[in-house]
Amino acid sequence: MKRIINEINKSEYDNLKKVVFKYYDKLKLQGKKPRLDDSVVKAILTGFDEEFIKMVFIDYLGGMDKIISNLKRATKNKVFNTDDYSNDVDMGSYSFRFKLLVSDKNDLDGDVYALAQIMDGELSLAESGKRVDFDKLGDDKYEDILWEITIEIGDIVSDILRKMFTPYTGVDFGVRVDYQ
């Protein structure tokens, strides 16, 4: 994506944005939902890849700074429970509570970064099906499952973002989660 951005200058990008934004605003006035995968937008932006089109759409939503600011507001001081998301996200054998710290860091691809603090919870061991508290796993086993837990938390954050942008369809944000 950076390659294409560097190939056009700011005024060309602003002109393309203006045309697409006008089209999206017209859709909204007609009671329709602006879509990332709209065929008219793809025609307007012929020759540009999906990441470039997504960047224009993100700009229409107010840019990544606004998206991150809204996500921070939605997650600030909130304790999340994986059980609350079981209908929307497949959490497997995990059941835990966690807090999120959303980073100001983002990239042009629309990736969001967050730090998760796992508070408590349990999982079912694959070998025996036995339920075990996270705090009783021991450091070696706990470290082995953290990578998977961060993926599950990322799915929850993606679900939160999708719900925040419900009127707009076709947009997906990459979410990168680390743990503390």
Contact call for residues 54 and 110 (beta carbons, < 8 A): yes
How do 131-133 and 94-106 pair as beta strands?
unpaired
Cα–Cα distances (Å) from 117 to 22, 56, 82, 90, in that order, read 42, 33, 13, 20
Model pLDDT for residues 24-62, shown as the tens digit of each residue? 999 999 998 888 888 999 999 988 888 888 889 889 988
Q: If you search the block for the tokens 């799915």, which residue do you land on?
A: 155
Rg of the chain, C-alpha, whole Å: 20
What's residue 3's pLDDT?
A: 42
Share of the chain above pLDDT 90, in %: 17
In the chain, what are the domain boundaries? 2-60, 65-179
What's residue 1's pLDDT?
A: 43
User: For 7-11, what is the mean pLDDT?
Assistant: 79
